[in-house]
Amino acid sequence: MPTFPFSAIVGQDEMRQALLIAAVDPSVGGVLVFGDRGTGKSTAIRALAALLPPMTATVGCPYNCDPASPAGSCPHCAAGGPRKSHKKPVPVVDLPLGATEDRVVGTLDLERALGAGVKAFEPGLLARANRGFLYIDEVNLLEDHLVDLLLDVAASGVNTVEREGLSLRHPARFVLVGSGNPEEGELRPQLLDRFGLACEVATPTDIPTRVAVVRARDAYERDPQGFCAAHAKAEAATAKRIEAARKRLPAVTVPDDALEQAARLCLALGTDGLRGELTLMRTARALAALDGAPSVTTDHLRRIAPAALRHRLRRNPLDESGSTARVDRALAEVFG
């Protein structure tokens, strides 16, 4: 069955916006999606990956190395001469809750390694996710040490495995997408802070949206090929938009007054450190690139601020309103 098309997803605007931004600039950090079960979180990530242009990868490389950028290659590819390349779809790798650390980072076979070098390394899930997406359902239930490890690797783009003096490094650049239900276990604040964007999704409560969701789902399940064919044009347009935004990104400027507004917003909200402003700037820049705009404006900041900041707020015992409401209030204060 073909993947449900990204452009056929009804509603969930904020989640779709966050995923598009991560596709344009993976360095904004992972995307956290909080909400009810059955709101299509996993569908959306698969749909996004499916519409991205296939990547060119080195044949036989377990890390999907890009033959065009040998600098970031694995020890495997860096050592050899010219290699054959092929096109393959952008991977979406699921990380199951019960996964052991070995399965995630890979295993180094010490006895074999002493004789045979890197060949004694059995790549793990991080190797498969390189240049793609790593998806963790119920990330709030994942063991802390694994979440720490994943966020470190996601930030550095390198997975390092060390066993008794032997070590192996390989590229592991991926967009981390975590989903969960906050009622079933909270993420530590210091981990929350390291996700680039956080969105809330909910089952729609208005009748027309519910009708549209059910209609789309039913049409897809009855005739997947026909449904996808009907959305092929919209899918191609979204793919083009992402590609154009990626090209445009390095040239998008962030004026001083936009940075000042970002700083005022973070001050008004009392977010810790400077990560809030950095993320706000980077995500607004990716959003501007998606819009085809030459520079970041107040409008971009306003549109991305809730997703970039709501998970960085300190608890305020005197303020019982939700984090989204607090960001909205600060936006009104700063932008009028």
Known catalytic residues are 275
Angle at 286 between CA 63 and CA 159, to 5 degrees: 25
Contact status, residue 125 vs residue 176, Cβ threshold 8 Å: no
Minimal distance, residue 236 CB to Zn ion, in Å = 30
Closest CA to 119 of 131, 109, 129: 109
C-alpha–C-alpha distance, residues 72 and 214, integer Å: 44
Structure tokens at 17: 């916006």
C-alpha–C-alpha distance, residues 6 and 138, integer Å: 22
Minimal distance, residue 131 CB to Zn ion, in Å = 11
Residue 63 or 220: which CB sits closer to Zn ion?
63
In sequence order, what are the beta bridge partners of 34?
180, 200
3-state secondary structure of 69: coil
Minimal distance, residue 67 CB to Zn ion, in Å = 9
Minimal distance, residue 59 CB to Zn ion, in Å = 10
Residue 97 or 116: which CB sits closer to Zn ion?
116
C-alpha–C-alpha distance, residues 154 and 50, integer Å: 21
C-alpha–C-alpha distance, residues 140 and 275, integer Å: 21
Taking CB positions, which residue lies at the least distance from Zn ion? Answer: 65
Residue 81 or 336: which CB sits closer to Zn ion?
81
DSSP state string for 90-113:
PPEEE--TT--HHHHH-EE-HHHH
Residue 77 or 296: which CB sits closer to Zn ion?
77
For binding to Zn ion (CB under 5 A), which residues are involved? 61, 63, 65, 74, 76-77
Minimal distance, residue 318 CB to Zn ion, in Å = 54
DSSP state string for 72-89:
G--HHHHHSS---EEEEP
Residue 2 or 80: which CB sits closer to Zn ion?
80
C-alpha–C-alpha distance, residues 1 and 228, integer Å: 10
Minimal distance, residue 49 CB to Zn ion, in Å = 20
Residue 54 or 185: which CB sits closer to Zn ion?
54
Contact status, residue 65 vs residue 73, Cβ threshold 8 Å: yes
Query: Residue 46: phi, psi to the nearest 5?
Result: -60, -40
C-alpha–C-alpha distance, residues 306 and 304, integer Å: 6
Residue 47 or 65: which CB sits closer to Zn ion?
65
Minimal distance, residue 63 CB to Zn ion, in Å = 5
C-alpha–C-alpha distance, residues 194 and 176, integer Å: 11
C-alpha–C-alpha distance, residues 45 and 177, integer Å: 8
